[in-house]
Structure 1
Amino acid sequence: MHLLIITELLAALRNTPYGKAPGPDEVYSEALRHISSKGLRFLLRCVNHSWTTGTIPAEWRRATIVPLLKPGKSPELLESYRPISLTSIVSKVAEKMVLKRLLWVWTPHPHQYAYRSMRTTTMQLAHLIHEVEHNRNHYFQVNLPKKGGIGNQLHYRPHRTLLVLVDFSKAFDSIDHRVLSRLLANIPGVNCRRWLRNFLCGRHAKTRVGNRNSDRRPMLRGVPQGSVLGPYLFSLYVHPLLNLLNSFADVTADMYADDLSIIVKGQSREDAIPTANMVLKKLHAWSQENGLAINPSKCEAAWFTLSTHTESDYDREGKWPLVVAGCEIPVMTMGASRTTKLLGMGLDPRLTLNVAATKQCAATSQRISQLRCIAHKEAGPSPHDLRTFVIGYGASKLRYGSELIWAVATDSAKNEMQKTYATLARIVSGVPSTVDPESALLEANMPPLHVLCLRARLSIFENTRACQMDWMRRPPPEPPPRAGFRISPLSRDELYAFVDAYTKDYGITQSSPREERFFRSSIPPWFAASAHRVTIGVELPIDHSITDEEELTREKRRVSEEALALHSHRSWILATDGGVDVPKSAGVGILLSSLNSSEIIEKASINCGARPCSYRTESRALLLALERLIIPRIQHRHKTLLVVTDSQSLLAALNKGPLSQTDWTEDQIWQRLLTLTCAGWSVHLQFCYGHCGIHANELADQYATQTIETGQYTEQGIAPLWHTDLLTCFTTQLTNKWRSTIRQDTHRYLLCGTRPSDLSGKDLITQEVLHRQELVHLARARCGESELWGRLYWAVRDCTNQCRFCNISPEQSAYMRSNNDPTAPGTDTVPPLAREEDVSPVRRRTITRRRKEKCPYCDSTLTGFSNLVSHCRSFHPEHPPPLPELKCDFCDMVFPTRRSTAQHRSRCAHNPDATRHRNSSARRRSLLPQDQPASTSTPIGPQETLHHLLLECPGTLAVRQQLGIEQDLRTEKFSQWQLLHSRKLLSLLDHLFGTQMAMYS
């Protein structure tokens, strides 16, 4: 096999993450990422020597084991610790290079969902749900006696599903090296087989606790923990096991790493459990032959059925036990106290995933309590940083498996998840819990939960479609001849019909051709040896202090021309560009003889669809230009090429190298580039700023614009749909529909509509950084939830919802006159003593007006009916207790309860001492004038909202003019949107309400 090359080494180093603990050699990944070119060549020689001779350095085969205590476990028990193996970083780099070669000649089992591209835990759970629902939709006939007792009647019953979860004890540490060596014999390539065998032999490990180290011990069994190749070697080891288990009829076996799940289809437990016992017997025999041990105490089983009333074999006494390795496995059935857990998700017998949704909401609530500690309304990170942390730490816990939960769970479980998600959104902006969920999501700039769930559901179906899994290709079962048949909630036909309703306007349907998904590189690792002949210029630094638009354009043109002038000697100039004008798009390429030539040698263009992103049109344009304009000239005697593009993101993706690509189009571009370099070509890809006067780029841009307008393309048909574009189009349509259904009577909608808030944390007028406390008050102001005004103020102060500036109460007018306010209505004066005297605590206390009750058996008078009852029971036990008076003393109205009677009596219009609704102003320590009547709760004007105060209220017009807000809005010096994210709004509120807002003025 070929030698390892520098391109493979660079790709391995690029995929080595920072911040990892070093192995016994104390070499950090950061040191390797910054190694010089000379050091890289030396490291490559060392790895190639090991690759060709099969000799593994001793340091690469040593490990340091650090035990970490598991959460919630007792530190006194040995099994409470999780061993973490630290191996050499240099060894991991070499393993990554060998792994590329291994995966080129060997593919893991299709039923192994771990360590594979586009396969996740949720995909395995989706497979389980699909199998259960498919079995439920597959009916069998049964003859049962009629209810009348004469004759039999034909019934249709759904098939049931038995799930068995098998746990292996220390699976990775129990691998037999001899068995694994026999399996490695089937791997092509002498160097690869020999290197992997020697990698397993002669390994040693020591344990480190604190500063103490144990003696080094040999590792005679198992795959190396903490290594790169270990999980793949284990996958190779259990490959025959998955072949064995999936060979039985009505049995499907899946694995995620070492977690084995067996799905058995049956008409009843009498049918399914014997089949499962036969499979488990074969599994136990295979495990003994290959050195793996099953742990029966951790094995579980679940019986999925819709109802127990249709089961003729309801097993109450263990008639059909499930046995493995001589031990019985408990089977979770309908009504069981505990549920089975697969890959972190609880499974109930009906498989509605309601239990999983409830547990995830509870787990997220714990994280919400932690997030609130760092998101105080007076101090904390910026909204953007906090949003990132909330999504990564809180929402990720809630959204695990949400694409499956949203498909099968009940509405109550979904509503609980949406409430928890809205709480996370409120943490970002700091708004109180009284803010409606839609406003909270818009303030946090977070998409609604149902959009994320449906997007993830479509993504997992597209992934299974690309993986060409058998369970996705089979058609749905035929319905029985009866009513009530239901298709599986995970049916792909139902999902794509739902998606087509949103994307058909853009010509996207379930039959639209999809772009191939990326599973592994189409470039053999050894084929990338000539990648050094491809150079890429990505960065063009400019002076960012320039603010003038024309001067900035000249600066961009200058640096672009200087970069292109270095490669003006090249024989061929290829300029590419992509354009999007929904619903039209184009990716184009033109071939020139020189940078300043206006004569186009040849053109190429392709229709990129109705909703592509600009990045996709640029990448499609480059791929098309290489295929149609350059590859046909591969044998030309002039073999120097300059590619000019204004897509910096595309060149940044290509700059990762041919073996580090994660997308099919970029991989195909590199394949064309390597085809050219193998033929002796030298290629340079150069970024230039767009729309700044670069001749080649302007020609390509003009051709793209012309192509979009005329619709004339050199290529027939439409480019295949990119997976990301499909998800983006679907998400955009769902979000737009959600925004069109948002309540329009909220405070935030009146001010901002459906536009999400700005999370930059800056004053949009002055571009100054706002403090956390200022940001929280602005968010609450936009939502109408403030302690000084609005709905929250009305609730706390128990006052009316009238605007205090449009509907001045008598108390307010008197208070304004007491401060010599010339705008105060009325001319009556207020006694100075009444204004200046402080109210004592006794006088400030609310007067209690309890009804005086007279004892019917003596002359005593008591306060309150409860005291009357106690008096009668104590002093007149021979008499029955009195009955409550349910009739009003003033209007003779009768009420059902004593409480409702008392509430009416205290506010009865005929009661001279009735309690009136308190005024709409804030509580004050000064006495209110006694000569004015109390205000009532009768609404006489507009509500006190920020929209009214800012745009409509004539009482605040003078303050708005004083602060210059009215004039600046009229002259469009700043917009209303900028005002809502600025200190000017805080200053306005300070002038209107004062007190707590004064610190922000």
Structure 2
Amino acid sequence: MYADDTAALCAGNDITTAKRRAQRAADALVHWARQSKMLVAGEKTQLLVLSQSAADAADCAIKVDGKLVPAADRLKLLGVTLDRLLHFGAHCRSLRSRVRPRTQQLRKLTGRSWGLEERQLRAVASGYVGGALLHAAAAWLPATPQSHVELLEREMRAAARTITGCPLSTPAHAVMAEAGLMPVAARRDVLAAKLLARAHALPEGDPLRAVAEGGPPSRLKTVTGWRGVGHDTWRAAGIVLPIEPLLPARAPPWEVAACPHVTFSLDIGALRRDAPPDELHQAAQRHLASLPQQAIWVWTDGSADAGVRSGGAGAFVEWPDGATDELRVPAGQLCSSFRAEMVALRAALTHLRDHPHQPSAPITICSDSQSALATLREGPASQKTLLGAAIWTELAALAGPSRRIHLQWVPSHCGVDGNERADEIAKEAAALPQAAVPVDVATAHRAAARLARDRTIAAWPEGWYRTLMEDRLPPPAATGDRSSAVDVHQLRAGHWSGSRQYLHRIGRNPSDDCRQCPDTDCAAGLCTVCREEADTPRHFFFRCPALMGWRLRRYGTIFPNPEDVRDDGEVAALAAAVRDLQSRTATPQ
């Protein structure tokens, strides 16, 4: 026996037309089921009217296999709760009740002496909490009003406080940045832009692509969707059409022709990680000298401004007879260094295929992109992009029993002649017209994510956290234990549990004269070490005279810059020094 469910969407200019079409669809389903000797459970069927008018949903019902199915207030489809106005308030409330227990379970993994490391906590929070909140979010989140989005923001902030150990009073922008979590409102723009790019990358005639390319007028200005939000994000991020098509369905590995005549090498011998350029140059020359010299040598490189835009792909070809060719190809207005390198590899291989005047000479391709070569080394069946599949198609066409192709990594910017020449050609190619070069979905997604990050940082209010971090998001705290990581986050966020002024402000450090107040001049909040002013994080970082010698020894000045002190290792050292001084003042002499 088999069981499954299905859904039908029937639309009309009025409720009568839509209801008639829905009844016709239900009758067709029941007729097909009876012919296939199957039963339709009419009593389990649900009906939802999507309309701005409440009168359309009143007394609306259809019959399914003789059972009357009245219209309900909401309907759950593939884990998403739909309501009549598509405001998704009920769905957000359902998600919140679902995620709260997960946040509680995450909190149980944060013991100061035995808890998970911060990178592990971030991974669990992103998958276990964020994954549940953002299930199918690209479809429904862009249409959700901000009042309902705020319900999800609260749960994300709860997860952020769990990761960082920051108290409830910590400003939301600081705790989210310290936890490495993006606000839900910012994720909405990124997801909409990515879905729009994926829709445009689908084949001609695909229904989702037709929706993405359509532009029906909006009846209400307050109603948004993934298409409108995606286009707004595209304009702000500089994403333009065309979009590179997605890779068609890949053949299984056992049907892909093996290419034993294509080899890869991602090293040039044992080298230190911090080897100087001259040592890298010598190692590269020795390794290249061991390869066949009577070969077609190809040097490829990719260039991208700041690694994100104005991509250029360059290739320098040396034929066995001494002739040379230079190839310059634009890689796209929005382009990563990785993609520019892949474009250069494809252009070089296409050039070799189009000039087969030395068909038996081996080919050695040198590139300074380990990531590109590592991706290609996985084989033709493992390529996930159209560009990677095209490169393997060219490799398979060029390689054979009488010709071997070797792809070799070489270090960059160490004086290797061919690599330096390819780098110059790539920079020249970046100045070529880029308008006709398609943007791939991954690049569009990263551009939208960068825009969301920049907007999030720009929205930080003026205050301690913006002064300390400027325009940077902090990486995970790399301190050895959970207790030190919590001190780092609390100090940077400005709400440290080791501060007397903070404890007094929340009523945990009352005095005889003052039970609780936010005044930084209150005697109950003065620094226990210097007794000159409130012991705020700003005081410890920059002004406490008791830490003057410590700052001088550590930074070479008693007035360090924010850039010198915001590193997690420096903040952890400061917290340890302050606690040491506090313990001394608490010990009777």
Q: What's the CA shift string for 1:98-141, capped at 9, x where partnerless?
A: xxxxxxxxxxxxxxxxxxxxxxxxxxxxxxxxxxxxxxxxxxxx
| Separation (CA, whole Å) in 1 of partners of 2:112 and 2:585 | 14
Contact 2:363–2:406 at 8 Å: present in 1 too?
Answer: yes
| Separation (CA, whole Å) in 2 of partners of 1:959 and 1:485 | 60
The structure with more radius of gyration: 1
Residue in structure 1 matched with residue 177 of structure 2 by the alignment: 442
Query: How many Å apart are 1:616 and its aligned residue?
Result: 0.6
Query: Given the superposition, is the C-alpha separation of residues 718 and 538 from structure 1 closer, same or farther in structure 2, using an over 3 Å criterion?
Result: farther
| Separation (CA, whole Å) in 2 of partners of 1:498 and 1:997 | 58
Gaps of 5+ in 1: 1-168, 172-257, 763-769, 810-918, 924-939
Are positions 1:736 and 2:473 aligned together? no
| Separation (CA, whole Å) in 2 of partners of 1:528 and 1:565 | 33
Q: Of 494, 515, 535, which residue of structure 2 is paired with 1:784?
A: 494
Query: Given the superposition, is the C-alpha separation of residues 264 and 487 from structure 1 closer, same or farther in structure 2, using an over 3 Å criterion?
Result: farther
Residue in structure 2 matched with residue 537 of structure 1 by the alignment: 265
| Separation (CA, whole Å) in 2 of partners of 1:997 and 1:602 | 76
| Separation (CA, whole Å) in 2 of partners of 1:624 and 1:263 | 46
TM-score, normalised relative to structure 1: 0.53
Q: Of 407, 420, 440, which residue of structure 2 is paired with 1:722?
A: 440
| Separation (CA, whole Å) in 2 of partners of 1:754 and 1:963 | 24
Q: What's the CA shift string for 1:698-753, capped at 9, x where partnerless?
A: 22123334555xx3x5x9865322222222222212321221121112x3333223
Are positions 1:329 and 2:69 aligned together? yes
Q: Secondary structure at the match of 1:659?
A: helix
Query: Given the superposition, is the C-alpha separation of residues 405 and 432 from structure 1 closer, same or farther in structure 2, using an over 3 Å criterion?
Result: farther
Are positions 1:280 and 2:8 aligned together? no
Query: Given the superposition, is the C-alpha separation of residues 679 and 277 from structure 1 closer, same or farther in structure 2, using an over 3 Å criterion?
Result: farther
Query: How many Å apart are 1:263 and its aligned residue?
Result: 0.8
Residue in structure 2 matched with residue 758 of structure 1 by the alignment: 475
Query: How many Å apart are 1:528 and its aligned residue?
Result: 4.3
Query: How many Å apart are 1:593 and its aligned residue?
Result: 3.3
| Separation (CA, whole Å) in 1 of partners of 2:381 and 2:299 | 25
Q: Secondary structure at the match of 2:437?
A: coil
| Separation (CA, whole Å) in 2 of partners of 1:667 and 1:706 | 26
Query: Given the superposition, is the C-alpha separation of residues 300 and 449 from structure 1 closer, same or farther in structure 2, using an over 3 Å criterion?
Result: same
Percent identity between matched residues is 19
Q: Of 401, 404, 420, which residue of structure 2 is paired with 1:682?
A: 404
Q: State the superposition RMSD in angstroms.
A: 3.4
| Separation (CA, whole Å) in 2 of partners of 1:604 and 1:946 | 56
Q: Of 113, 117, 120, which residue of structure 2 is paired with 1:385?
A: 120
> Which AA in structure 2 matches 1:948?
H
Residue in structure 2 matched with residue 347 of structure 1 by the alignment: 82
Contact 2:285–2:416 at 8 Å: present in 1 too?
Answer: yes
Q: Secondary structure at the match of 1:322?
A: strand
Contact 1:577–1:701 at 8 Å: present in 2 too?
Answer: yes
Residue in structure 2 matched with residue 490 of structure 1 by the alignment: 225
TM-score, normalised relative to structure 2: 0.87
> Which AA in structure 1 matches 2:469?
C
> Which AA in structure 1 matches 2:26?
L
Contact 1:787–1:793 at 8 Å: present in 2 too?
Answer: no
Query: Given the superposition, is the C-alpha separation of residues 724 and 995 from structure 1 closer, same or farther in structure 2, using an over 3 Å criterion?
Result: farther
Contact 2:331–2:437 at 8 Å: present in 1 too?
Answer: yes
Q: Secondary structure at the match of 2:412?
A: coil
Contact 2:491–2:571 at 8 Å: present in 1 too?
Answer: no
Q: Secondary structure at the match of 2:170?
A: coil
| Separation (CA, whole Å) in 1 of partners of 2:47 and 2:131 | 28
Q: Indicate the structure with greater helix content.
A: 2
Q: What's the CA shift string for 1:945-981, capped at 9, x where partnerless?
A: 21123213xxx32433156456534698992223764
Q: Across the two proteins, how many residue pairs are aligned to each other?
A: 571
Query: Given the superposition, is the C-alpha separation of residues 277 and 322 from structure 1 closer, same or farther in structure 2, using an over 3 Å criterion?
Result: same
Are positions 1:575 and 2:575 aligned together? no
Residue in structure 2 matched with residue 399 of structure 1 by the alignment: 134
Contact 1:802–1:943 at 8 Å: present in 2 too?
Answer: no
Structure 1 segment 37-116 matched on structure 2, within 5 A: none
| Separation (CA, whole Å) in 1 of partners of 2:586 and 2:63 | 71
Query: Given the superposition, is the C-alpha separation of residues 994 and 781 from structure 1 closer, same or farther in structure 2, using an over 3 Å criterion?
Result: farther
Query: How many Å apart are 1:464 and its aligned residue?
Result: 1.9
| Separation (CA, whole Å) in 2 of partners of 1:263 and 1:721 | 33
Q: What's the CA shift string for 1:509-545, capped at 9, x where partnerless?
A: 3xx3222221324x8989843522212223455344x
Q: What's the CA shift string for 1:15-45, capped at 9, x where partnerless?
A: xxxxxxxxxxxxxxxxxxxxxxxxxxxxxxx
Contact 1:587–1:620 at 8 Å: present in 2 too?
Answer: yes
Q: What's the CA shift string for 1:74-120, capped at 9, x where partnerless?
A: xxxxxxxxxxxxxxxxxxxxxxxxxxxxxxxxxxxxxxxxxxxxxxx
Q: Which structure exhibits the higher relative contact order, with contacts defined as CA atoms closer than 8 Å and separated by 6 or more residues?
A: 2
Residue in structure 2 matched with residue 850 of structure 1 by the alignment: none
Contact 2:234–2:448 at 8 Å: present in 1 too?
Answer: no
> Which AA in structure 2 matches 1:366?
P
Residue in structure 2 matched with residue 472 of structure 1 by the alignment: 211
Structure 1 segment 432-831 matched on structure 2, within 5 A: 432-467=167-202, 468=204, 469-470=206-207, 471-472=210-211, 475-477=214-216, 486=221, 489-490=224-225, 492=227, 494-495=228-229, 497-504=231-238, 508-509=239-240, 512-521=241-250, 528-529=256-257, 531-540=259-268, 542-544=270-272, 549-550=275-276, 553-582=277-306, 584-593=310-319, 601-628=324-351, 630-634=352-356, 636-677=358-399, 680-708=402-430, 711=431, 718-745=436-463, 747-762=464-479, 770-789=480-499, 790-795=501-506, 796-797=508-509, 798-799=515-516, 801=518
Contact 1:608–1:718 at 8 Å: present in 2 too?
Answer: no
> Which AA in structure 2 matches 1:412?
S
Q: Secondary structure at the match of 1:455?
A: helix
Contact 1:748–1:784 at 8 Å: present in 2 too?
Answer: yes
Query: How many Å apart are 1:499 and its aligned residue?
Result: 2.5
| Separation (CA, whole Å) in 2 of partners of 1:686 and 1:968 | 45
Residue in structure 2 matched with residue 975 of structure 1 by the alignment: 564
Query: How many Å apart are 1:283 and its aligned residue?
Result: 1.7
Q: Secondary structure at the match of 1:434?
A: coil
Query: Given the superposition, is the C-alpha separation of residues 361 and 979 from structure 1 closer, same or farther in structure 2, using an over 3 Å criterion?
Result: closer
Q: Secondary structure at the match of 1:610?
A: strand
Are positions 1:993 and 2:582 aligned together? yes
Residue in structure 2 matched with residue 959 of structure 1 by the alignment: 547
Q: Secondary structure at the match of 1:744?
A: coil
Gaps of 5+ in 2: 510-514
| Separation (CA, whole Å) in 2 of partners of 1:778 and 1:601 | 57
| Separation (CA, whole Å) in 1 of partners of 2:575 and 2:341 | 45
Query: Given the superposition, is the C-alpha separation of residues 497 and 663 from structure 1 closer, same or farther in structure 2, using an over 3 Å criterion?
Result: closer
> Which AA in structure 2 matches 1:660?
S
> Which AA in structure 2 matches 1:752?
M
> Which AA in structure 2 matches 1:302?
L
Query: How many Å apart are 1:455 and its aligned residue?
Result: 0.8
Query: How many Å apart are 1:321 and its aligned residue?
Result: 4.4
| Separation (CA, whole Å) in 2 of partners of 1:726 and 1:996 | 56
Query: How many Å apart are 1:272 and its aligned residue?
Result: 3.4
Contact 1:788–1:993 at 8 Å: present in 2 too?
Answer: no
